[in-house]
Amino acid sequence: MAPSYNTMEMMICVAARYLEDGKTVAVGTGAPCAAAMLSQKTQSPNLVILFEAGGISPLLPQMPISVGDSRTFFRAVMAAGMTEMMTTCCRGLVDYAFLGGAQIDKYGNINSTVVGDYYKPKVRFPGSGGANDFASFCWRTMIMTVHSKSRFVEKCEFVTSPGFLTGAGHARPRGCRRAARTRSSRISPSWASTRRPSP
């Protein structure tokens, strides 16, 4: 008997399980938003969802069509703006960035801008929006996309949102936070000046 769900629905369900109750997650539209909504409605009722355009902790009634859709402000704790959202990320107050991308390489770099020459591309995508800020400044980045060889590439043709750039031992750009999580604390790279204890 064939399953009554498709691959993307399965990925959304699995991803929703990773979003812990009481944590904060900055999401884009599409599958990452669907996973955050599912998590909030099932296992993580205190999950704080943040949208690039300023919706903070809405109770999403339906899937928004964009990060600025009025649904991203429905019963929200606050209707802020993009400046407040990016500042919140820069201050280290957001646990997860949850993103998608057109290309993802083995170092976690994401391309959501262009395939081919930048000025004469084969394909031009919507671009970064807030994805670069989210990937650079949130404590952890989760990436979800359709599984295909054209999406998982050896090297991104354009790096919209940095992962570990060229690989192990390569420092992320100054100002970009990455941390490993342990039971007692978040351990940041040596150039990061903060160490935030776990709740």
Compute the average pLDDT of residues 26-51. 93
Q: Let me know if residue 192 belongs to a domain.
A: no
Compute the average pLDDT of residues 133-138. 91
Q: Let me know if residue 169 belongs to a domain.
A: yes
For residue 172, name the pLDDT band (cuts at 50, 70, 90).
Answer: low
Compute the average pLDDT of residues 79-91. 92
Judge whether 177 and 92 are in contact, CB under 8 Å.
yes
Spot the catalytic one: 52, 84, 154, 157: 52
For residue 42, name the pLDDT band (cuts at 50, 70, 90).
Answer: very high
Task: Judge whether 52 counts as a catalytic residue.
Answer: yes
Q: Let me know if residue 77 belongs to a domain.
A: yes
Compute the average pLDDT of residues 68-96. 92
Residue 57 is part of a domain; what is its CATH number?
3.40.1080.10
For residue 167, name the pLDDT band (cuts at 50, 70, 90).
Answer: confident
Q: Let me know if residue 24 belongs to a domain.
A: yes
Q: Let me know if residue 193 belongs to a domain.
A: no
Q: Let me know if residue 91 belongs to a domain.
A: yes
Beta strand ranges found along the chain (DSSP E): 24-27, 48-51, 55-56, 78-79, 96-99, 103-105, 110-111, 114-116, 121-124, 140-143, 152-153, 180-181, 186-187
Q: Let me know if residue 166 belongs to a domain.
A: yes
Give tens-digit pLDDT for 95-124: 999 998 899 998 889 999 999 999 999 999
**HSE of 104, CA atoms in CB hemisphere, 13 A:** 15
For residue 170, name the pLDDT band (cuts at 50, 70, 90).
Answer: low
How many distinct helices (H) and strands (E) make up the chain? 4, 13
Q: Let me know if residue 181 belongs to a domain.
A: yes
How many domains is the chain built from? Answer: 1
Domain that holds residue 122: 7-187
Give tens-digit pLDDT for 177-192: 443 333 333 333 333 3
